Structure 1
Amino acid sequence: MNGDKINRLSLPDEVARKLQEQISLGKWGPGERLPTEPELMSYFGVSRSTIREAVRILSNTGWIRVQQGAGTFVETNKPQQESLSQRLQRVNTQDLEEVRLMLEHKIAGKAALNRSEEDIERMTFFLSERRKYADLNQPKDCIAADIHFHTRIAQASGNSILADLYQAFATQLTSSFLEKFKTTDEFKATQLLHEQLLTSIIEQNAEAAWHFADKIVNH
């Protein structure tokens, strides 16, 4: 087996996520036996207890079954679909950023076309809060204001499905930001871009809104 090392500080959930991903991609088919514990330990570079906990997680969610004395097998019946919020709890940083990029582009352009006066008022308020807490170097409050600002843009898009998707996504994004940003320096650096994004939405310039959303997520 070619190794797929993960961070030794990662939770068993990360091993479970990788195993589930490989099952979904067909690496092991329905009814097929998974590698042994020692092989999985070597493959992921983690301890036996981590592998056992990951196997327990997948067994509880219906992806695999454990047969005493025979091994661990991919379940033949597809497990019940996870809710979006459950799935997002296991998402990795790269996937999170890709989804963020797609969502931010789409909602910015649509918000520019469909925003209401109430939307403008609320976006303006949260952007002002974002600046205030950035200047005070209060990351937690600044992140909350930032997320509220972008969530309001999603609501302004006029597409309830997009708004619901962003709302679910925002919870995990908040956790990611809290881990990533210990100061508000990055928020100060992108404040002008956010103000330009808001201006383009107010002016109903969808192309400019898309442009500034792109610059924000790729900053």
Structure 2
Amino acid sequence: MITKQSLADAVAQQLTDRIGQGEFAVGEKLPTEPALMELFGVGRSTVREAIRKLTHSGMVRVQQGLGTFVLKAAANESLTERLLRSQGKELNEVRELLELKIAEKAARNRTQEDIAEMKMHLEERQKTALAHQAAQCIQADIDFHLCIAKAAKSDILLDLYKTVAGHLQQYFQKLLVDTEKFIASQALHEDLLQSIIDQDPKQAWQAAAKITGQQAILD
């Protein structure tokens, strides 16, 4: 099910893409609300929310009584915004780069508290996968990997992974209608956890590589 919020995000992204492609140039006025509603097949509230998002990002400016004007193209977006726009194989490449380094650092820096939390989420991942509870299993999987990111003891890696994890969760929810892939990859996740427990950075790197390779997101 597509929520109003995600629909507004989709409209905002389409407008961003059109601005980036030059369809709406810097300084030019965007089409009126009714025209945008017809163009994207959405309601007035969705269009207004999409425009609000672009206004907050500094891409457009709303002038009362005159309309909405383009201030800048998408090339000026932040790294976080760019990460949130990544999809399919591109998103998986970002994920792979982060998870391999995070796993390596977690094997060096993890604490007993980190291990206990990882075990808890990994057990929940297996339980919900076997019960075919897809949403709960996806959440447990994300929580497990976030624990590893915390164990790496790198604030910048953790912040980057939090951004990617949120987007990954949305993709998993759309693409994975059952838990078969989670069941199939449970042993790999257990290997990853064991390598972190053993403080073996090389093995942790290899285990993370196998997981990201098996669970690659397709376009």
What's the TM-score once normalised by structure 2's chain length?
Answer: 0.70
Question: Equivalent residue for 2:160?
Answer: 165
Larger mean CA deviation between 155-164 and 59-68 belongs to 59-68
Q: Is the 8 A contact 2:61 2:71 kept in 1?
A: yes
Residue of structure 2 in register with 1:53 after alignment: 47
Point out the more displaced range, 13-22 or 134-143: 13-22
TM-fit CA distance, 1:109: 0.8
The reply to whether residue 93 of structure 1 matches residue 87 of structure 2 is: yes
Confirm or deny that 1:17 pairs with 2:13: yes
Relative to structure 1, is the Cα distance of residues 208 and 24 closer, same or farther in structure 2, using a 3 angstrom cutoff? farther
1:28-177 counterparts in 2 under 5 A?
A: 30-31=26-27, 33=28, 46=40, 53=47, 56-57=51-52, 60-61=55-56, 62-65=58-61, 73-75=69-71, 84=80, 87=81, 91-94=85-88, 95-177=90-172
Output one character per residue of 1:124-163: Cα deviation in whole Å (capped at 9) or x when no partner.
2211221111111111221121111111100110112222
Assess if the C-alpha contact under 8 Å between 2:96 and 2:212 holds in 1. yes
The share of aligned pairs that are identical, in percent, is 39
Residues matched between the structures, number: 200
Q: 1:198 aligns with which of 193, 196, 206?
A: 193
Please give the per-residue CA displacement for 1:183-218, whole angstroms capped at 9, x wherever unaligned.
110100111111111111112221221111112112
| Matches of 2:71 and 2:129, distance apart in 1 | 49
**TM-score (norm. length: structure 1):** 0.70
Ranges in structure 1 where 5+ consecutive residues have no aligned partner = 1-9
Counterpart for residue 218 of structure 1: 213
Match of 1:185 in 2: 180
Q: Answer whether contact 2:30 2:70 (CA < 8 A) is retained.
A: no
CA distance in 2, matches of 1:93, 1:132: 29
Contact 1:17 1:90 in 2 (8 A): no
Supply the AA of the counterpart residue of 1:110: K
Instruction: Please tell me the residue identity of whatever aligns with 1:63.
Output: M
Q: Which runs of 5+ in 2 are unaligned?
A: 1-5, 215-219
